[in-house]
Amino acid sequence: MRRAPFPLMVFLFRLLSALPLSWLHGLGALAGRLAYLLSARYRRLLRQNLAQAGLEAPGRAPLAAAQAGRALFELPKLWLRPQTEVVARVVEVSGWELVEGAWAAGKGLLFLTPHLGCFEITAQYYAAHRPMTVLYRRPKRDALAPLIEQGRGANLKLAPADLSGVRSLIRALRQGEAVGMLPDQVPGSGEGVWVPFFGRPAYTMTLASRLADTGATVLLAYAERLPGARGYHLKLFPLLAPLEGDSSQKAAALNRALEDLIRQCPEQYLWGYNRYKRPRGAPPPPGEGR
C-alpha cells in the first residue's frame, strides 16, 4: 500500500502554492544563491558544466543557481493549482503553427523538452488542448509522488519509465497523440549510449530516436521564465536535422540540437544536474577503463 504524503510536506506545498508567483521566484532565487554560496560541491559542478559548454561568463553561475531555485519553488503552484490557472501563465507562444501542422497531417507529436526554463509547464499547456502522455520516473521521496501525480489535468497521462511505459508512448504516437520527455535525462543502464554533449561523453537515451522512428513530428520545446514573474514564453522548434544512422549517430544528433537550444537561454538550464554521471551497470565512457 502506498504511504500517504508526510503531512508537513503536504502543508508546506499547499502553503507555497497559494503564494504569488513573484514571491515564489524571489524565495527560489534566494535559496538558489544560498546553495551556490554554501555548497562547494554544487558550486563546483555548476561551474564545471558551464565551462565544459563554453558558456562560462562573469556572473552567469550565480544567475543559473538563482534560476534553478526559481524552478524548484514554482513547482507547488504548477502541481497544485487548477490547470486553467497554470496554463494561463503561458503568456506568449512561438511556433504553435508546427503543432497545428502535425494535427492537420494526423501525425503524432514527440515533444523533447530538456531541463531548460520551466519544463513542467510545457506538457500542461499542450494537455489543455489535446491528450498527452509523458514519461514519468517516480521520485525517490515517496511523499512527493502523490503531489506530483495529482497536479495533472485529465488529458495528461503518466507513463512509467519501464517497458510498459515505452509501449504506452509508442501506442499514443501511433494514435496521433502527443508524447513528452526530457531527452537530457540520464537513462538507466542499457538504455543509452555514450555520445558527446558539449564536447564530453554523456550517457544519452536512445528512446527519443526510437520514438521518432514512428513517423511522429519531433519538436524541441522549452518555456522561458520571464523576468518579474510575468509568466512564461513557450517556444517550439522543429528538429532541423533528421535523426539518421545507428543509435549512437541519432543520439549525437539529438544532443547537438539540444546544445543549440540551451545556448538560446543558458542561465535557465539546470547546470547543477549531473549530466555526465555513469549509471550503475552502464559501460564506462570512451577512453576510461573499467
Q: What's the whole-number mean pLDDT along residues 119-139?
A: 88
pTM: 0.91
Angle at 45 between CA 60 and CA 143, to 5 degrees: 105
Confidence (pLDDT) at 287: 75
Confidence (pLDDT) at 31: 98
Confidence (pLDDT) at 9: 73
Q: What's the whole-number mean pLDDT along residues 126-154?
A: 73
pLDDT digits (tens, 9 = 90+) for 94-116: 999 999 999 999 999 999 999 99
Q: Are 126 and 97 in contact (CB under 8 A)?
A: no
**% of the chain with per-residue pLDDT over 70:** 91
Q: Are 18 and 24 in contact (CB under 8 A)?
A: no
Which candidate, 67, 102, 116, places its Cα nearest to that of 212?
102
Confidence (pLDDT) at 1: 42
pLDDT digits (tens, 9 = 90+) for 22-54: 999 999 999 999 999 999 999 999 999 999 999
Say what the alpha-carbon torsion angle 266, 271, 275, 280 is, to the nearest 10 degrees: -160
The three-class DSSP label of residue 74 is: coil
pLDDT at 118 over 90: yes
pLDDT digits (tens, 9 = 90+) for 169-220: 999 999 999 999 999 999 987 789 999 999 999 999 999 999 999 999 999 9
Angle at 71 between CA 40 and CA 186, to 5 degrees: 70
Q: How far apart are CA 47 and CA 263, in angstroms?
A: 16
Q: How far apart are CA 253 and CA 67, in angstroms?
A: 27
Confidence (pLDDT) at 76: 92
The residue count for the chain: 290
- Give the pairing of strands 200-205 and 192-197: antiparallel
Who wins on pLDDT, 64 or 187?
64
Q: How far apart are CA 37 and CA 47, in angstroms?
A: 12
Residue 205 amino acid letter? M
pLDDT digits (tens, 9 = 90+) for 71-95: 999 999 998 898 899 999 999 999 9
Q: How far apart are CA 63 and CA 203, in angstroms?
A: 27
Mean pLDDT of the chain: 90
Q: How far is CA 147 from CA 7, 17, 121, 267, in A?
A: 11, 12, 15, 28
pLDDT digits (tens, 9 = 90+) for 216-263: 999 999 999 999 999 999 999 999 888 889 999 999 999 999 999 999
Confidence (pLDDT) at 231: 97
